[in-house]
Amino acid sequence: MLGPITRRISDHSTEKDFCFTFYCDICGNTWESVPLKGSLEAGHSCSAEAKTLIWQSEHDAAYERANREAVKHFNRCPVCKRFVCDDCFLILPDQDICIECAKKRKGDGCK
């Protein structure tokens, strides 16, 4: 299983559905995945162990899907490799970078 693309993530999954929030690595702006329904319903006739295995498998799949979708909502800085929101990402003539790397670059005497 892939690690989360952002450094911080919240898991809001329940017994019935799966949902995750990803946070910008700089400012904390969020993107929340669309909740996905699980297949287990109340009164499902399998054992508790089987239900746990099914839930875990579905949770892992939902997490992978949310993680892949989150990549579309964040920008990866080519310098520091952080995933940041549009507000924290600068599109410059010579290189697109996050605002933190831009500040460091400006402080180094570069424009």
pLDDT of residue 111: 43
pLDDT of residue 108: 57
Q: Compute the Cα dihedral for 13, 14, 15, 16 and give only its sign.
A: negative
63 CB-contact burial (10 Å; exposed 0-12 / middle 13-18 / buried 19+): buried
pTM for this model (two decimals): 0.86
Per-residue pLDDT of the chain (111 residues; tens, 9 = 90+): 678 899 999 999 999 999 999 999 999 999 999 999 999 876 567 888 999 999 999 999 999 999 999 999 999 999 999 999 999 999 888 889 999 999 998 765 444
Residues 37 and 14: their CA atoms lie apart, in Å, by 10
pLDDT of residue 110: 45
Name 92's Cβ contacts closer than 8 Å, sequence gap at least 6.
102
Query: Residues 64, 67, 69, CA angle at the centre, nearest 5°?
Result: 110
Q: Which helix (H) or strand (E) is 28 found in, with range?
A: none
DSSP letters of 32-47? EPPPEE-S--TT--S-
pLDDT of residue 109: 46
